Amino acid sequence: MSNWYDAWADRYEDWTDGMSADVPFYVELARQADGPLVELAVGTGRVAIPVAQATGRRPIGIDSSPGMLEQARVHADEAGVELDLREGDIRDFEVEEPAALIYCPGRSLLHLPTWADRRRCFERVAASLRPDGRFAWNAFAFNHHVASEYDGRHADTPLPHTTSYSVSDNRVDVTLDDGGTGSLWWATKNEWLGLLDVAGLRLEALYGGFAGEPLDDDSGEYVFVARR
């Protein structure tokens, strides 16, 4: 996955252009956190930079892609903020001081393909949080109508690509026209809740959107907040 992101890290801003609804949500959680901030799968700094600007703190950003981290450094310099950027695997990360908030925006936990991968990540989160520290993330809620509409469809924006679904593997693939495929593996609400349980975390809130909308049958997003 990191190689796929490395190949188009310099164009990732085109892909995420207009993706900003989650930023105020994570910024507000960061403002409320009294202690270190850690972003998993920090990418190009799309969320970490606004968090640093809003809090005056230096978030730790972990990502497996050197290319994405290099873009994050460039963007942070341009914004005049400091990020503590670290190349690493979110299944095995360690921090020197327990965090008050760990968050993973952009549906990035879906890059972990198996329950075991996600369990390892959640267990590392639990071990890296302060008592009562928060863990927040978002993931899409699978909708078979959407999958049917987009399966096999080619699109020219934001970058030319084709989307395909493998329902048997809970996987959606995005293949760029100029090469490379990135995959996401979706999970159900109960699978996410089970991960919290095995990691010893407790659910604080589950929303159907970043404005705190209740989760219902029409929700396209799971937005989770948990505590140690």
pTM equals 0.94
Q: Which residue has the tokens 């965090």?
A: 99
Secondary structure (DSSP) of 160-228: SEEEEEEGGGTEEEEEETTS-EEEEE---HHHHHHHHHHHT-EEEEEESSTT-PBP-TT--EEEEEEE-
Average pLDDT for the chain:
93
CA–CA separation, 182 vs 190, rounded Å? 25
Quick check: 30 and 105 in contact, CB under 8 A? Answer: no
Q: What amino acid occupies position 122?
A: F
C-alpha 130/C-alpha 127 separation (Å) is 8
Q: What percent of the chain has pLDDT over 90?
A: 86
Q: 82 is written with which tokens?
A: 């400091």
Domain 2-141+187-227 class? alpha beta
Cβ within 8 Å of residue 202, ≥6 positions away = 196, 226, 227, 228
Query: How far apart are the C-alpha atoms of 86 and 36, rounded to whole Å?
Result: 15
CB burial of residue 140 (10 Å; 0-12, 13-18, 19+): middle
Q: How far is residue 172's CA from residue 20's CA, in Å, rounded to a whole number?
A: 22
Give the residue extent of every domain in the chain: 2-141+187-227, 143-185
Does 2 score more than 60 pLDDT?
A: no
- Residues with Cβ within 8 Å of 16's Cβ and at least 6 positions away in sequence, in order, are 44, 46, 106, 158
Contact present, 59 and 84 (Cβ < 8 Å): yes
Number of Cβ within 10 Å of residue 76's Cβ equals 22
pLDDT in tens, 181-215: 889 999 999 999 999 999 999 999 999 999 999 99
pLDDT tens column, 143-174: 999 999 999 999 998 778 999 999 999 999 99
